[in-house]
Amino acid sequence: MTDTIVYEQLGEDGIAALVAAFYNRVREDDLIGPMYPADDWDGSEQRLRDFLVFRFGGPQRYIEQRGHPRLRMRHAPFRVGVAERDRWVSFMEEAMAETEVPSPSREILTAFFAQTADFMRNQPE
């Protein structure tokens, strides 16, 4: 099984719903919410949506518009410690539950989000 099953199962609409559910939580959060530009919520949401679509087998819009993801570099200006990582992952898990992401996509995304969020850490425990 490949990661493209996520795009095959969810499609762009399902990924968009997942990202919207995630950002609904982030907007109200006092820990990770301030990391996002208050005047660009829609842009932040679009970039994550396009990244996930690209990463899991859909159209390459993210790469065409932004080039290589360079996730660590793009997140370097922000303090990302254990608490921030855990909050981000918990919001993604809640968003997957809310949008009823099916198996095996849920398991693939759960592993991907945990690994990626930990990779973004730039603060010691």
* Residue 86 is assigned to a structural domain of this protein: yes
C-alpha 90: how far from its chain's center?
Answer: 11
Number of domains the chain is built from: 1
* Residue 105 is assigned to a structural domain of this protein: yes
Q: What is the pLDDT of residues 98-118, one digit of tens each?
A: 999 999 999 999 999 999 999
CB atoms inside a 10 Å sphere around CB 8: 13
CATH code where residue 47 lies: 1.10.490.10
Instruction: Give mean pLDDT, residues 78-98.
Output: 95
| The pLDDT value given to residue 70 | 66
Q: What is the pLDDT of residues 19-61, one digit of tens each?
A: 999 999 999 999 999 998 889 999 999 999 999 999 999 998 8
Q: What pTM was estimated for this model as a whole?
A: 0.91
* Residue 125 is assigned to a structural domain of this protein: no
Q: What share of the chain is helix, strand, coil (3-state, %, to 5)?
A: 70, 0, 30
> Which domain range does residue 80 map to?
4-120
